Amino acid sequence: IVENHGRDAHRLLSMLREVQQKLRHVSPLAQRTIAESLGICITQVSAVVEFYSFLSTTPLGKFDIRISDSITDHMLGSRDVAARLCRRLGILPGETRHDGRVSLTFTSCTGLCEQGPAGLINGYAITRLTEERTDRIAGLINNDTPLDEWPGELFTVEQNIQLTDRLLGNPVQPGDALGRTLALGRETMFGEIETSQLRGRGGAGFNTAWKWRFCYDGPEAAVCPPGQPAAGIERYVVCNADEGEPGTFKDRVLLQSSADQVFEGMTVCAHLVGAKRGFLYLRGEYLYLYDRLEAVLAARRQRGLLGKAILGKEGFDFDIEIRLGAGAYICGEESALIESLEGNRGIPRNRPPYPVTHGYLGQPTVVNNVETFFAAAAIAVHGGEWFAAVGTEKSKGTKLLSICGDCARPGIYEYPFGVTVARILEDCGAADVLGVQIGGPSGTFLSDKEFDRKLAYEDLATGGSFIVFDRTRDVIEIARNFTHFFAHESCGFCTPCRVGTPLLKNLLDKIAAGHGATGDLAELSRLGRFVRSASHCGLGQTAANPILSTLERYPEIYQARLKTIDFEPGFDLDGALATARRLTGRDDANAHLSQS
């Protein structure tokens, strides 16, 4: 495996994925062998193994099942599915069966929120886990039927495109955007992207033309020490396909239905910034897309749309490599993603410098997400004015939304920016709505009094997740699910987030279980604000959003869950005193403290 990867330590994650696939785990021996072969320290290898949740140091089952723990899967019954599977297979969650046949655990989110309950088997997506399908899967495993002989319908992933506008409604044919880019020339095409006012679709909304321009214009000054030439500088284009925000699945659909257009957008970018190499960083949960995407890349090479002298243009060389993630939400953050591409743990870097000047291998790197490159290809064909003709003053064009939860028609919807939440709810068939989570767990929870608000950077910025909750749902349970998600996904680099997110989780669990007191609510709010202000990256800075935004909107629901005392310990107080009673030989009434 190491040889196949050219003994390149930057490809460590890919090597470890392959070892895991062959051995069902990455054993200490395998770690040592890889470290010695690469000439790196074993701790560097073990740190990476321990960081990514899809890698395991102990053997997983021949059939490794991971059920999605996302809130939308919970709402569709994922916990019942897991319990049923465990019964049928004779295991407990987190266990590998004694014969090594099967293991079952939970995973944060599979990006299949509109067709859950969903999960992964040996990394491949399984959807709509009804009781009947669950029993069939258990039967196939108990009969030891090889995965490639399972009925294909178990692995069907629907696209569910419900509403199209100018992007989805005007697909770009392979080569059209590149042809126009070459015909117009670099500066004119830069002008088109600038006119479009396209902003990065991941949520932060940085101006795409500026980012590309910084990469093309500015890096020499930033990268080279004064007086040194710019020779040796390589530029890179990275497509972030690591959408891991629960409730988001639009990039999955774009890669399923329009990968050619996404690669075309990356190639247009490469031409403008002068990059020769690109990466598509594909989240590990989308393994089932890998072969299809490779086939699209191969077809593009065949047609002269990738490789040397693209479309016959001497010097226009560019190719794209797909790299798979391994179950770490934080790798959606661009600097963590670059660390992962370099074979490291996905720990966000200090910024500045920004990846656009000091990215992959310290070189100028454009990182944009799937939807941004998809839109850029359309702009290259239809022009900046065409794109900017819809939207609002500061948010031009259209936005793709992944809509799921309590609605009749979940799926992908494309709207011009400025659309109201009320309109979206009507379109997707939502009724009796309690609230909507905009932008995933790191976003905002809107109550039914705010449905006239608009999706736009000026009002509600979003990466595209839109989860609907009706009045049967429990607000505290929603906040609890999201808070558990952040505590699980914290990379552990900085103390406020590493320590703060589990504290928030424990406090919220205590309140949800009916053990909370008035002081706990104040502490929840204080701690949440602290984690928000003191954390190193966006994950920690938004981890308290589910708590703070629901506390602000529904204080009465939290209040109603409290006990009418000022302080309540978060553990079994009387049980904790049992050892002391035994040691002192006391068991009188005063040696017992009641929590009620």
Q: Which residues make up the interface to ligand SF4 (CB under 6 A)?
A: 330, 348, 490-494, 497-498, 535-537, 539-540
- Smallest distance from ligand SF4 to CB 325, Å: 15
**For ligand SF4, the closer CB: 260 or 333:** 333
State the residue for tokens 């392959």: 18
Nearest to 329 by CA among 572, 491, 507: 491
**For ligand SF4, the closer CB: 266 or 531:** 531
**For ligand SF4, the closer CB: 268 or 497:** 497
- Smallest distance from ligand SF4 to CB 99, Å: 38
**For ligand SF4, the closer CB: 14 or 535:** 535
Alpha helices by DSSP H, 516-554: 518-534, 538-542, 545-553
- Smallest distance from ligand SF4 to CB 540, Å: 3
**For ligand SF4, the closer CB: 93 or 538:** 538
**For ligand SF4, the closer CB: 189 or 537:** 537
- Smallest distance from ligand SF4 to CB 241, Å: 20
Answer whether 174's CB lies under 8 Å from 268's CB. Answer: no
- Smallest distance from ligand SF4 to CB 507, Å: 18
State the residue for tokens 């069907």: 156
Answer whether 51's CB lies under 8 Å from 58's CB. Answer: no
Element (H, E) at 489: helix 475-489
Count CB neighbours of 49 within 10 A.
Answer: 24
- Smallest distance from ligand SF4 to CB 238, Å: 19
Read off the tokens for 557. 């629901």
Instruction: Provide the β-strand partners of residue 124.
Output: 121
Rounded Cα distance, 504 and 487, in Å? 8
Q: Which residue is nearest to ligand SF4 (CB)?
A: 540
- Smallest distance from ligand SF4 to CB 569, Å: 27
State the residue for tokens 């409290």: 562
- Smallest distance from ligand SF4 to CB 490, Å: 4
Neighbour-count burial for 105-127, b at 16+ CB within 10 Å, e otherwise: bbbbbbbbbbbbbbbbbebebbb
**For ligand SF4, the closer CB: 67 or 494:** 494
**For ligand SF4, the closer CB: 10 or 498:** 498
Helices 12-23/42-51 angle, 10° precision: 70
**For ligand SF4, the closer CB: 13 or 494:** 494
- Smallest distance from ligand SF4 to CB 581, Å: 40
Rounded Cα distance, 258 and 69, in Å? 28
List of residues 6+ apart from 494 with CB closer than 8 A: 534, 535, 536, 537, 540
Neighbour-count burial for 239-274, b at 16+ CB within 10 Å, e otherwise: bbbbbbbbbbbbbbbbbbebbbbbbbbbbbbbbbbb
**For ligand SF4, the closer CB: 238 or 331:** 331
**For ligand SF4, the closer CB: 409 or 498:** 498
**For ligand SF4, the closer CB: 329 or 451:** 329
Q: Helices (H) and strands (E) in the chain — how many of each?
A: 24, 14
- Smallest distance from ligand SF4 to CB 74, Å: 23
- Smallest distance from ligand SF4 to CB 334, Å: 13
Instruction: Give whole-number Cα distances, 270 to 49, 239, 277, 319, in Å.
Output: 32, 11, 8, 9
Evaluate the omega torsion of the peptide bond into residue 353 and state whether it is cis, within 30 degrees of 0: yes
- Smallest distance from ligand SF4 to CB 535, Å: 4
Nearest to 340 by CA among 247, 435, 240: 240
**For ligand SF4, the closer CB: 401 or 537:** 537
- Smallest distance from ligand SF4 to CB 544, Å: 11
Taking every pair of Cα atoms in the chain, the longest distance, rounded to a whole number of angstroms, is: 91
What secondary structure does DSSP assign to 337-381, as a single string?
HHHHHTTS--PPPPSSSPTTTS-GGGS-EEEEEHHHHHHHHHHHH
| Residue 482 burial class via C-beta count within 10 angstroms: exposed 0-12, middle 13-18, buried 19 and up | buried
